[in-house]
Structure 1
């Protein structure tokens, strides 16, 4: 039995020295060796009082010191690199503004990786995102007009109740520019155009709810408002397999009851930061100039499938990209995820 214990201790030592997964592994091994040394014959080279064992123990002590020193260096670097998360908040004008994740060094994983690679003079740091203490859900029932201003991303929100003849051109431009937008569908339009909506979904865009019959939500009863949202939600789910989480009220008309009813159906009420006002048939240049002058991080840009917007779309996208902003879906813009995303990878 004692011989087996000796073999087990030897194998454990070899495993720890090869893998070096973390400082805790080394500490545990030393503790285990000390605890079991009493069961090993004094003449054995593995007994803790044997000169050979003393050398091994000394080597492990040095390794432990090295681990502690590396951990201290990583913690100092972590203090320099930490960016605090930003809480979601209520604004007097913009209402619910999403939070934004912070970023920090994962000290434990960074230490394990640095020990494993043993690169002289180099720390191998693993970063991770840190969510804010207060998120959108904790703010209660409020509309959202924009993403967090610290997030360099904007979204094109395309409300569709008519104008399907302009959709092919817009989809082609979005695909060419590698942009995913959010399409808010009027339910009565959607019911007649499921194949078109399926094409939009297949191209990777986000599909969302724009009520059913384009009524002013503040002017109808609670029951009617519920049904306006619910009927379109059912179409999205049953006909297209979409799990939708957003609702854009027709014409931007709503009251607190509208927001509450949407929240009851697990939907966030979405308005816009910038309006192309394309239903008034402005020139494409007018739209592009407006976007160029007023676009900023977190903006939600409202448009429709119209001649004006379809002609302006490509230039709009280029203007936005030239300002160093990424384009994503509304859900991506209002999430707290960082841009660019912090992966759990070496920095």
Structure 2
């Protein structure tokens, strides 16, 4: 039987003590401290997710704060049909790849190249209920979560003011929706084509500018269909909206428009420009009353010609983006202006 010398265990114990002392007090201690506290510490010592970096974990944590739920379209007791608005969530993998590509390495978004904002990448979350899912209802405004305002210009006369209005829209790089009276469009298709070629939206304002609620169903159908035909044949547009003349309509109007694939749209804020108020009064009105989702009604008048630039600039100063009815009523997200 082989007998182990009592000196062997004693020697092994002394070696173990020496190793531990070196790690705690000797030159190895600095290395151990750096490994524990360095950039890779999260990876090395994270028992929950040992494969994730500190940067990625920070992105996952921050993403929860940046989540915005989608808003469904509804029929409101006062405002009738209100469109939905898409939500958003952070695309974790795409954001992580973007961050690495821009030189970010640290949790908290530090270490990136340059002074730009952290490169968040989002996925849009569509609402489960859209305008098309609602029963036929008029629309008076967009969703209050969307920082956009729709510009509506109803055209049945006033073509002499259109060149100046169009010039202002071009200079400000803004698109609007022009609702054409059919009898006007039949006479001025060249002007309407120019409007469309500039990138503006063309829509339906009936044919003879009648009070729709006073007409029977057959005549209402004719008023809408005749102008819709001109929009297709003269302008080549695929229209989505019907604006009843003078804002006069009944449920029959809304139902017939829906039959023809159109939503009935009115306004939130009326400039009453046909009464010829001073431009400053209209600008002040827009400044005081316009908010996210507002639809602003105008006509080609001297007042609108003089007020339009100021209106656009005051809207932008309020953090709102002016645009078409389709853009404003769309579910698609728009980021607030910087």
TM class, shorter-chain normalised? 0.7 to 0.9
- Are residue 201 (structure 1) and residue 196 (structure 2) matched? yes
Partner of 1:49: none
CA distance in 1, matches of 2:184, 2:278: 26
Q: How many residues are treated as equivalent by the alignment?
A: 279
Instruction: State yes or no: 1:96 paired with 2:91.
Output: no
2:123 is matched with 128
Structure 1: state its 5+ residue gaps: 1-63, 342-347
| Match of residue 156 from structure 1 | 151
Show the counterpart of 1:83. Answer: 68
5 Å matches for 1:293-312? 293-312=288-307
Question: Contact 2:147–2:321 at 8 Å: present in 1 too?
Answer: yes
Deviations 1:101-138 (CA, angstroms, capped at 9, x unpaired): 11101234445556777842267642111111221112
CA positional deviation for 1:74: 3.9
- List aligned pairs for 1:133-282, cutoff 5 A: 133-282=128-277
What's the secondary structure of 1:211's corresponding residue? coil
The Cα offsets for residues 79-121 of structure 1, whole Å up to 9 and x where unpaired, read as: 1211111111221111111111111012344455567778422
Deviation per CA, 1:228-252, whole angstroms, max 9, x where unpaired? 1111111111111101101100110
State the partner residue of 1:325. Answer: 320
**How far, CA to CA, are the matches of 1:309 and 1:115 in structure 2?**
50
Alpha-carbon distance between aligned partners in 2 of 1:81 and 1:322, rounded to the nearest angstrom: 25
Partner of 1:25: none
In the alignment, is the contact (CA less than 8 A) between 2:73 and 2:129 conserved in 1?
A: yes
User: Given the two structures, how large is their TM-score scaled by the length of structure 1?
Assistant: 0.75
Contact 2:204–2:227 (8 Å) recurs in 1: yes
- Verify the 8 A CA contact 2:55 2:106 in the aligned structure 1: no
1:160-214 CA distances to partner (integer Å, 9 max, x unpaired)?
0001011011111111111111000000100111110011011111111101111
Q: State the SS of the aligned residue for 1:75.
A: helix
Partners of 2:104 and 2:154 in 1: CA distance: 54
Distance 1:183 1:259, change over 3 A: same
Alpha-carbon distance between aligned partners in 1 of 2:103 and 2:272, rounded to the nearest angstrom:
60
SS of aligned partner of 2:88: strand
CA contact (8 A) 1:187 1:235 kept: yes
Please give the alpha-carbon distance, in whole angstroms, between the structure 2 residues aligned to 1:127 and 1:217: 45
- SS of residue in 1 equivalent to 2:163: helix
Distance in 1, Cα, partners of 2:197 & 2:56: 48
How far apart in 1 are the matches of 2:101 and 2:319?
A: 37
Q: Distance in 1 between matches of 2:103 and 2:164?
A: 55
Greater helix content: 1
Residues 285 and 70 (structure 1), Cα distance of their counterparts in 2 relative to 1, 3 Å cut: closer
Is the 1:208–1:244 Cα contact (8 Å) retained in structure 2? yes
Aligned with 2:274: secondary structure?
Answer: helix
What do the CA deviations read for 1:279-326 (whole angstroms, capped 9, x no partner)? 122222222221122111111110111112112212222221221211
Contact 1:150/1:298 (8 A) holds in 2: yes
CA contact (8 A) 1:67 1:115 kept: no
**How far has the Cα of 1:141 moved from its partner?**
0.5
- CA gap of 1:75–1:287, structure 2 versus 1, over 3 A, is same
Unaligned runs of 5+ in 2: 1-48, 110-118
Distance 2:282 2:54 in 1: 58
